[in-house]
Chain A
Amino acid sequence: MKMSGAEIIIKLLERQGVRTIAGIPGGANLPLYDAMGKNGNIKHILTRHEQGAGFIAQGMARVTGKPAVFFATSGPGATNTLTAIADAKLDSIPIICITGQVPLSMIGTDAFQEVDTYGLSVPITKHNFLVRSAEDLLRIIPDAFRIAASGRPGPVVIDVPKDVQMAEVEFDEWPELGVPDATPELFHGEIEHAAAMINRAKRPILYLGGGVILSDSSAEALAMAEKGAIPSVLTLMGLGAIPSGHPLNLGMLGMHAARYTNLALEECDLLIAVGVRFDDRATGKVSEFCPKAKVIHMDIDPSELDKIKTAHASVRGDVADVLKALLPHIEQKNRAEWNGRIESLRTAHPMIVPGADDPTSPYGVILKAAELAGEEAIVCTDVGQHQMRTAQVYPFTRPHRWLTSGGLGTMGFGMPAALGAALAAPDKPVICFSGDGSIMMNIQDLATAMEYDIPIKIILTNNNALGLVRQQQDLFYGQRYVASDYDKCVDFIKIAEGFGIKAYDLGNCDDPAVTLAEAIAAPGPALIHVPVSPNEPVYPMVAPGAANSQMIGGENHV
């Protein structure tokens, strides 16, 4: 066979099962686009910003669990992708970014649209490549898929100089597909030791994170919770790992957890951490996190073990393998006393949800939308108060339906991630909760939603402020609201309509519940505008750096 580097890339992507690629062409990656045009089996989504393309890829990867690909040209195209790549690194999402680069002979000359993409992406990728010959693509492309999806998943960047894309290569056969490495072998001693600790514990709590979602081990996690009658808390990334209505589910822990959740953790004698990394938003002040508890930490990434909190027992392995191996060793229990104590904490310190019945309130619109969208819905958020409220109250029932920027906290994540989710799962409703601050960060891709008629429903709670910033100024900076309120209002209805998107205004309609239902049921993309007050904090809140026991607000005054 004789093919150009660009043709090899496109064919190898197709062989890996890639059918949709988001991106933007430019001088340095035009051979790649030309090859895609000749091939015809891959659908390209032309975004308005490369960051949007990166988050579309993330949306696809988070829903399917498989690596997704996006394209950018050299220089500014590549720098525009960096936030989406860093976001994927922190949340362990398998995406592959293929960038164009100036020709090899011009690298290092400050050529037009040249930037050191390899150097820039070193600290924010799981691995990266600068391809120096077209032959190398036969090895590098499958390897990128293997690396992105193996072990703890993550982003991979492949930077391809333009002359490498155009170079012709003779080769005899296609390489093997890139597939994830086998999961590491377990040490049975570690499993038995952990099981003995769990069986001995009087007041254990399961602490489930994104690793449970990524390893598809929700069923095993729930089985373990039920067999051992172990109450369970979830990280932001772990939401959906076990159903929200389950009696053993105590919801999200940490900075914006319900009071009873953090209080239960104060009392536990064993913390069973599964696929979590002890993020500071979850733990609060680490030295005061679960002060009475021994810790068992299970993770596929050995560098996470003992990174932040030294565990009394570590289990290295794929969380799915670990839970499967552990389950037969877990004694059937009811732990009536401990679960009774949890129930009394839940009754005394419940999650207070102001305006739960009002579909025009910040919480009420989330609950109403959840009811209307149904259990199959995929829920994306941007970053801010709406994100924390959704995490607090949305009734998640299953994994891979909750897409949020957990680690990096990227405003602008939600809408393009929702586009990716809808492209990957066209049969499921996709809702995106956003705020007026966040949506502005990638608003240009409303045009992408319009252009491809992607049926996402954006629920925009608009307080004309950077709400979570304002809330911190309210609580910790003497109410000096510097640079967190906008002085003038943007007309989001007109903006949506200007992008060719249907718009609904819950602040200006006869029956908001009916309007919301109509918007969610309508075909095509829609923006639902919900004006809310900037003076509605998300409670409870733990001050950054404080112990989780020191919660502000959300008390039960009944």
Chain B
Amino acid sequence: MCKQTVIELSVNNHPGVMSHICGLFARRAYNVEGIACMPVNGGQTSKIWLLVNADDRLDQMIKQVDKLEDVLLVERYDSGHPVFAKMAEFVQ
């Protein structure tokens, strides 16, 4: 099993943001293994967590995601993120 990483994105919250992000991964045949999204505060922005396999394309993917106009901040959690640990309970 390959090592996984979590990318945490702060993004503008409007319809279409998710398609920009997922489209980037999809066309490069880079699967997003897990995804979570919640609005922040009043809902002007959202947080998105992406669980991805950490292969050698990841740095380039992060740079591409960071270029998106609606992406405000990108953080990387190489040792995982509790959001997915909690979510895993729902799919056991």
On A, residues with C-beta under 8 Å from B are 118-119, 122-123, 126-128, 130, 147, 301-303, 306-307
C-alpha spacing A302/B61, complex, angstroms: 12
A147 touches B27 (CB 8 A): no
Can you name the residue of chain B whose Cβ is closest to the Cβ of A136?
B14
Q: A118-B16, A122-B20 are in contact. Are A127 and B69 (CB under 8 A)?
A: yes
C-alpha spacing A552/B27, complex, angstroms: 34
B63 touches A303 (CB 8 A): yes
- Residues in chain A near residue B70, CB distance under 8 A: 127
Can you name the residue of chain B whose Cβ is closest to the Cβ of A308?
B60
B92 within 8 A of A: no
C-alpha spacing A123/B66, complex, angstroms: 15
Chain A CB within 10 A, most for which of B15, B67, B68: B67
Chain B CB within 10 A, most for which of A122, A126, A130: A122
How many Å from the CB of A120 to the closest CB on chain B?
11
Can you name the residue of chain A whose Cβ is closest to the Cβ of B65?
A303
B23 within 8 A of A: yes
C-alpha spacing A551/B33, complex, angstroms: 44
B20 touches A303 (CB 8 A): no
B19 within 8 A of A: yes
- Residues in chain A near residue B15, CB distance under 8 A: 130
B23 touches A123 (CB 8 A): yes
Can you name the residue of chain A whose Cβ is closest to the Cβ of B68?
A127
Nearest 3 Cβ contacts at the A-B interface: A303-B63, A127-B69, A303-B64
B89 within 8 A of A: no
- Residues in chain B near residue A122, CB distance under 8 A: 16, 19-20, 23
A119 touches B19 (CB 8 A): yes
Can you show 14 pairs from A to B with CB atoms below 8 A apart?
A118-B16, A122-B16, A123-B23, A126-B69, A127-B68, A127-B69, A127-B70, A128-B16, A130-B16, A147-B69, A301-B67, A302-B63, A306-B60, A307-B60
A303 touches B60 (CB 8 A): yes
Which bracket fits the contact residues of B?
A: 10 to 19
8 Å CB interface, B1-58 against A: 15-16, 19-20, 23, 27
On B, residues with C-beta under 8 Å from A are 15-16, 19-20, 23, 27, 59-60, 63-64, 66-70
C-alpha spacing A467/B23, complex, angstroms: 36
A118, A128, A303, A306: the one within 8 Å of B67 (CB):
A303
- Residues in chain A near residue B63, CB distance under 8 A: 302-303
- Residues in chain A near residue B19, CB distance under 8 A: 119, 122
- Residues in chain A near residue B59, CB distance under 8 A: 306
Can you name the residue of chain B whose Cβ is closest to the Cβ of A123?
B23
How many Å from the CB of B25 to the closest CB on chain A?
12
C-alpha spacing A127/B23, complex, angstroms: 13
How many Å from the CB of A318 to the closest CB on chain B?
16
C-alpha spacing A147/B16, complex, angstroms: 17
- Residues in chain A near residue B68, CB distance under 8 A: 127
Chain A CB within 10 A, most for which of B15, B63, B68, B70: B63
How many Å from the CB of B15 to the closest CB on chain A?
8
C-alpha spacing A128/B59, complex, angstroms: 24
How many Å from the CB of B59 to the closest CB on chain A?
7
Q: A130-B15, A303-B60 are in contact. List 17 more A-B contacts (CB 8 A).
A: A118-B16, A119-B19, A122-B19, A122-B20, A122-B23, A123-B23, A126-B69, A127-B70, A128-B16, A147-B69, A301-B67, A302-B66, A303-B64, A303-B66, A303-B67, A306-B59, A306-B60
Can you name the residue of chain A whose Cβ is closest to the Cβ of B15?
A130
How many Å from the CB of B24 to the closest CB on chain A?
8
- Residues in chain B near residue A306, CB distance under 8 A: 59-60
C-alpha spacing A306/B59, complex, angstroms: 10
C-alpha spacing A128/B67, complex, angstroms: 13
Can you name the residue of chain A whose Cβ is closest to the Cβ of B63?
A303
How many Å from the CB of B43 to the closest CB on chain A?
15
- Residues in chain B near residue A126, CB distance under 8 A: 69
C-alpha spacing A271/B55, complex, angstroms: 28
C-alpha spacing A137/B27, complex, angstroms: 31
C-alpha spacing A69/B70, complex, angstroms: 22
C-alpha spacing A301/B69, complex, angstroms: 13
- Residues in chain B near residue A123, CB distance under 8 A: 23, 27
- Residues in chain B near residue A301, CB distance under 8 A: 67
- Residues in chain A near residue B23, CB distance under 8 A: 122-123
- Residues in chain B near residue A302, CB distance under 8 A: 63, 66
C-alpha spacing A302/B66, complex, angstroms: 10
How many Å from the CB of A507 to the closest CB on chain B?
46
Chain A CB within 10 A, most for which of B16, B23, B64: B16
- Residues in chain A near residue B69, CB distance under 8 A: 126-127, 147
C-alpha spacing A127/B6, complex, angstroms: 25
Can you name the residue of chain A whose Cβ is closest to the Cβ of B24?
A123
- Residues in chain A near residue B16, CB distance under 8 A: 118, 122, 128, 130
C-alpha spacing A307/B59, complex, angstroms: 9
